[in-house]
């Protein structure tokens, strides 16, 4: 029973292409995230949605556009891919401890994007 | 900008030894979490600490949140090869879902049999 799943696991594409990564969680969580992990393993938040509403939008190029069709799904579309977009992208979902938090995050297996 | 610095960055020790990993910041966090990440997988939550001075134990792993809620440590007793991985601390400035979790720079731990 996969809790947070992402597709594809690997994505190799050329500069200038447009690609999408899909994420689904079956944990019943209200909040979902996209993170980017660079080659030095530094993990940085990109976006967060709560019940389909965007609540965190970090300084990310507008070539990146998240979409949440329902609270169990959060997709990431990237336009005009650049070499610097190569990284591992993680989807996560979270639930609060108790009624108000803090929030505990559950990560997907990641999508390794390579732009050539 | 809030930052979390982890030390050491890399640690390679023999099976059976003890070790401590540190996570430091100049900022106060409402809570702090530790994750372990294995190659090709996503980070897995180990523990959440919320009270200054709090100590939590998970088998051979002991986690402590600093009194001022600016730092944390992870101590492993009698390390085993299965403890090998990337350890990440993560701090949340607030309690809401909109609170941006800040991840530390990571400690790559290798336990030699």
Predicted confidence (pLDDT) per residue in A44-72, tens digit: 999 999 988 998 888 889 999 999 999 99
Of B40, B94, B101, the CB nearest to A45: B101
Concatenating the DSSP letter of every residue in A77-96 gives EE-S--GGG-EEEEEEEEEE
The total of other beta-carbon atoms located within 10 Å of residue A28's CB is: 9
Under a CB-based contact definition with an 8 Å cutoff, are residues A114 and A87 in contact?
A: no
Chain A closest-CA separation from residue B46 CA (Å): 10
B48 contacts on A by Cβ (under 8 Å):
97, 102, 104
For A46, the closest chain B residue by CA position comes to B100
**Which of helix, strand or coil describes residue A49?**
strand
Chain B closest-CA separation from residue A64 CA (Å): 19
In angstroms, the CA A104 to CA A63 distance is 29
Express each pLDDT in A67-109 by its tens digit: 999 999 999 999 999 999 999 999 999 988 877 778 889 999 9
Rg from Cα positions in chain A: 14
Mean pLDDT across the stretch B70-76?
97
Kind of pairing between the strands at A111-115 and A10-13: parallel
């Amino acid at each position: 029973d996969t809790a947070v799943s992402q597709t594809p696991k690997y994505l190799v594409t050329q500069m200038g292409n447009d690609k999408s990564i899909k994420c689904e969680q079956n944990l019943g969580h209200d909040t979902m995230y996209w993170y980017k992990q660079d080659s030095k393993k530094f993990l940085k938040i990109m976006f967060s949605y709560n019940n389909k509403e965007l609540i965190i939008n970090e300084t990310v190029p507008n070539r990146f556009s998240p979409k949440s069709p329902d609270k169990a799904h959060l997709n990431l579309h990237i336009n005009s891919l650049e070499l610097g977009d190569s990284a591992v992208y993680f989807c996560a979902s979270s639930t609060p401890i108790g009624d108000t938090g803090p929030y505990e995050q559950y990560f997907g297996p990641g999508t390794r994007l390579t732009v050539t | 900008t809030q930052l979390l610095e982890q030390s050491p960055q890399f640690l390679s020790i023999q099976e059976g030894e003890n070790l401590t990993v540190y996570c430091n910041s100049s900022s106060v966090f409402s809570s702090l979490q530790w994750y372990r990440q294995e190659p090709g997988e996503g980070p897995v939550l180990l523990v959440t600490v919320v009270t200054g001075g709090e100590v939590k134990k998970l088998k051979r792993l002991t986690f402590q949140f600093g009194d001022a809620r600016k730092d944390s440590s992870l101590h492993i007793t009698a390390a085993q090869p299965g403890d090998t991985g990337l350890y990440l601390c993560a701090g949340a400035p607030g309690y809401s879902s909109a609170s941006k979790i800040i991840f530390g720079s990571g400690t790559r731990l290798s336990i030699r049999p």
